[in-house]
Amino acid sequence: MPDTPAIHGIDNSPRGRLLSAAAHLFRDKGFDRTTVRDIAAAVGIQSGSIFHHFKSKEDILFAVMEEVIRFNTERLRQAVADADTPLEQLRNLVRAELTATVGDTREAMVVMVAEWRCLGEAKQQEALALREIYEQIWLDVLGRLHKAGAFHADPFIMRRLLTGMIGWTPNWFSTNRRLSVEDLADLIVDRVVGEA
């Protein structure tokens, strides 16, 4: 059986191996150019066997997105729980999202952003509902910082700024550089709330 590396946050079950293989292929070839046969070959099964797990290729794409959103939402919850102050919570959130974006769930995150348009409206709405839970964790922490006077802009606007800074990072950041994820997180937080 071919050995496709697992995506962090996706289990090593037959279904999980299928999702990891799909995430790799969707990232490399794109959703439209990846066939069910390609996915099956990557995990060493017959293409018809995929339909024991999923009804369609769109369902596979949605499952990749759902798994990565759920995994990273739990990561954010833990990041907040591990800190005592809103500023520490923000640093932990930035580190967690950077880790997701340039680290262990990078491929699935790239697929989520690049292939969003390939989901039908119903699946987009389901993914947006999950994403709303993820975003609310950020807004709660940013709201506490705003209330404490750490910055004057609306927390929603601050989140959009953070999304832009972190979301663009995969285009230039390399773990081979001298700047670590932790250093980059500190730099981002310092730019957002100053030298608090």
14: number of Cβ within 10 Å: 13
Determine the pLDDT at residue 172: 87
Q: Residues 121-153, buried b or exposed e (16+ Cβ, 10 A)?
A: eebbeebeeeeeebbebbeebbbbbbeeebbee
Task: Output the CATH code of domain 57-193.
Answer: 1.10.357.10
Domain boundaries, the chain: 57-193
Determine the pLDDT at residue 141: 98
Determine the pLDDT at residue 108: 86
**pLDDT string in tens for the chain (196-residue length):** 455 556 666 777 888 889 989 999 999 999 999 999 999 999 998 888 898 889 999 999 999 999 999 999 999 999 999 999 999 999 999 999 999 999 888 888 888 888 999 999 999 999 999 999 999 999 999 999 999 999 989 999 999 999 999 998 988 887 667 788 999 999 999 988 874 4
pTM for the whole thing?
0.87
